[in-house]
Amino acid sequence: MKLLPFIAAAALAASSGAALAADLPSTKGAPVAPVAVSPWDFDVGATLTSDYLFRGITQSNHQPSVWGRGELRYNWSDNWQFYAGVSGESIKFTTNDFPVGSPAMELDGDAGVRGTFDKFAFDLGGIVYGYPDSPTGTHLVYSTILGAYPIGLAPRNPTFFEAYLKPTYTVNDMLTLGLNYFFTPSYLNTGATGNYLSGTVKVTGWGNFSAFSVSGEFGHQWLGKVDSVYTGANSSAYCYIACGGAGVAFGDLPDYNYWNAGLSYTWKFVTLDLRYYGTDLSKAKAYILTGIPNAGNVQFGYSTNSNYADDRFVATLSFDLTSKDLK
């Protein structure tokens, strides 16, 4: 019985200690609130290229061109991203053999949705190619056969729209395969429908060569018949097309194959690309597509050939910066 006072004292001390411990600050931290990640993102960039080529046809008279672009993105989920962007490129459509006006800038806007599902991804959207300061009308030149003859400027502003679908499949860390499909109801606002389909392949290096990649594209451009305003007696290509030039039916724009292959090196957000571009367009067909004569073969007092689709080696330096690069 003499143990009872000791046991009671021990119990009291234990209960007092427990109460005291409960009053002390906890060494266990409060739950950490999850970091809020904004669904918004952006991409801005700039490019300097030795020649601005659009599917193998120069937009800068085979001279250097500078670009600027920006894109706003909304990540709906890990699989879905919506975007809208704008870009501007310096262009030149005239030569010494074609002394009429040219727009100085192309202004483009695009929007769409991107989906990513494991190794498969796609980009679905539309783009407007704008030429806000493009002159229209005709320009009279002297022909030894016809006298004063109108050539040159498009009857309508060439601003036009294309819808596109670009799926890709990542085979592994090195190999990516892709397709591109573009459709327009009025190519360069001529009334001619346009369909473009191409396949792409990209091989990325590994180890010490992971910054390098080799890529290529092969595609075909189908084009339809232009509106009558482009085949009237006052249009620039009237006589040449009407006379059966290059074996193209009257009023039709020529279809053609296009390809490119090159090597790229990326350091942080800067990329250097060295690439060779080509088409199977003859100089005569290139003139029908562009309406810009500059490569000899004088008929009716002016050239009916164009070098605007000649094969070219192009060097391009570009940078892209997203919100992640600023963190």
Query: For residue 20, what pLDDT band results from cuts at 50, 70 and 90?
Result: very low
Amino acid at 89: E
Torsions phi, psi for 311 (to 5 deg): -65, 140
**CATH fold group of domain 38-326:** Porin (2.40.160)
Is-contact 212 205, C-beta < 8 A? yes
Where are the chain's structural domains?
Answer: 38-326
Question: For 118-153, what is each residue's pLDDT tens digit?
Answer: 999 999 999 999 998 777 665 545 444 444 444 555
pTM, full prediction: 0.81
Length in residues, the chain: 327
Residue by residue, DSSP assigns 28-64 as SPPPPPPPP--SEEEEEEEEEESS-EETTEESSTTS-
Question: For 154-177, what is each residue's pLDDT tens digit?
Answer: 678 889 999 999 999 999 999 999
Cα 88 from Cα 109, distance rounded (Å): 9
Question: For 184-236, what is each residue's pLDDT tens digit?
Answer: 999 999 899 999 999 999 999 988 899 999 999 999 999 999 888 777 644 44
Residue by residue, DSSP assigns 224-284 as -BPPGGGTSTTSTTHHHHHTTGGGPPTTBPPPEEEEEEEEEEEETTEEEEEEEEEE---HH
